[in-house]
Amino acid sequence: MRGVPYDVAAMSSDDMGKLNLSPTDGRMPLPLLTIDPSILDDSIETMMRVARRHEVLLAPHFKTSMSPALARRFARAGIWAVSVADLRQAVVFLRAGFRRVVIANEIGGGKAARRLAELCRSYPDAELYLFVDSIDGLDALTDVWRSGSDLPTIRILLEVGCGRSGVRSDDEFDALLGALTDGTPGITLGGIAAYEGTALRAEFAETQALLGDLLARVSHALTALRRRVGPNAPLLLSMGSSSLFDLVITQASDVLKRDGNTRLMLRSGSCYFGDHGETQARLDRLVARGLLGPELSARIGQSFRPAMRLWAETLSCPSPGLAVCGLGMRDAAHDQGNPVPLRSWRGGQPHLTLEGAAKTSKLNDQHSFVTFPEGLDVRVGDIIEFGIRHPCTTIDKHDVIYAVGDRGVVLDAFKTFFG
């Protein structure tokens, strides 16, 4: 397992803090991934403040970390549910004891519906939500549930789309809603789902226009669904990017007020972890918009900071101004840019600030090529601390995330379950 010293016997992650380990001390095999738990907890508490202030439910998307141990930190803070991307991920969190799970995606056809049914039989006390955007998908679910009198209730969220899955017009939504037979045993209409992240454009006016179109179709869908279920049925409106949740909260408020019995549920996931790339840049733009008010906006700016680091050893300095480190595409995201060198460590102590001076020019499978001004004192054996790009495609390469406190010592270890 990454980072575990070779002479350490099997032990609980809770006991990792007793070993007095550090990614800079030479005892932990590198590369490895760390998180600052104080930054994470601050981000969680800030988002909980947003939720309380605006009466929003939180169901963070744990496809980002796939770590039940991390999810329990969110649960202690008061999140409403966990979101996942597919049935396999749902199993991970159900096995870990979570009982309100949002499968924030369509699952497929008849075979997938039968797998879902077996999952529901295994966890009859679970409260499961899933997305549906097609008559074929709806028919697959109703066929299985009609034939299984022992199946517990599932709650479906009809998805309205914007550049990804989901119905694309009011007429398509009306046809989908009309295809659901009243009184199908075990299937409940839980609300509307959408994903606004695909509306994001370089020009803010274009983002606003696309989001306005999406919310207009969401409003139509919610109105039609309300006519179907009646005024007393509680419904959800589930939306979920990490960079536009301020716009969703403020612009969906009129839709929710008109309905009167629907709660907004946010699935934002990567914002809690931050990065040294586009995730953080989008959060900075969210703060600058100030739509959630000066107090909350300022707190988001203070709390939502990059919480994760990658650590690698310098393996070679083959020419002036170039260091080859033991960190590659198998260890770090590269879909939104390469990892960012922040500082070097020598002898377990901080040595040089590299941020702004050095850059990762290229990644191979196992190597990163870090360039820097000639004369900068980087040597073989130095440990390089990197900032990550794109949490979702960095964490999935690691089977464990180490919690490192402000003294640089490992406090805990969080197992991941990406499969």
pLDDT at 406: 85
Band the pLDDT of 22: cuts 50, 70, 90: very high
- For 332-363, the pLDDT digits (tens) are 999 999 999 999 999 999 999 999 999 999 99
Q: Which CATH class is domain 13-36+307-415?
A: mainly beta
Mean of per-residue pLDDT scores for the chain: 95
Q: What is the 3-state secondary structure (H, E, C) of the chain?
A: CCCCCCCCCCCCHHHHHHHCCCCCCCCCCCCEEEECHHHHHHHHHHHHHHHHHHCCEECCECCCCCCHHHHHHHHHHCCCCEEECCHHHHHHHHHCCCCEEEECCCCCCHHHHHHHHHHHHHCCCCEEEEEECCHHHHHHHHHHHHCCCCCCCEEEEEEECCCCCCECCHHHHHHHHHHCCCCCCCEEEEEEECCCHHHCCCCHHHHHHHHHHHHHHHHHHHHHHHHHHCCCCCEEEEECCCCCHHHHHHHCHHHHHHHCCEEEEECCCHHHCCCCCHHHHHHHHHHHHCCCCHHHHHHHHHHCCCCEEEEEEEEEEEECCEEEECCCCCCCCCECECCEEEEEEECCEEEEECCCCCEEEEECCCCEEEECCCCCCCCCCCEEEEECCCCHHHHCCCCEEEEECCCCCEEEEEECCCC
- pTM for this prediction: 0.95
pLDDT at 10: 78
Residue 202 has pLDDT above 80, yes or no: yes
- For 225-254, the pLDDT digits (tens) are 999 999 999 999 999 889 999 999 999 999
In the chain, where the domains are located: 13-36+307-415, 38-282
- Which CATH number, 3.20.20.10, 3.30.470.10, 3.90.850.10, 3.90.25.10, labels domain 38-282? 3.20.20.10
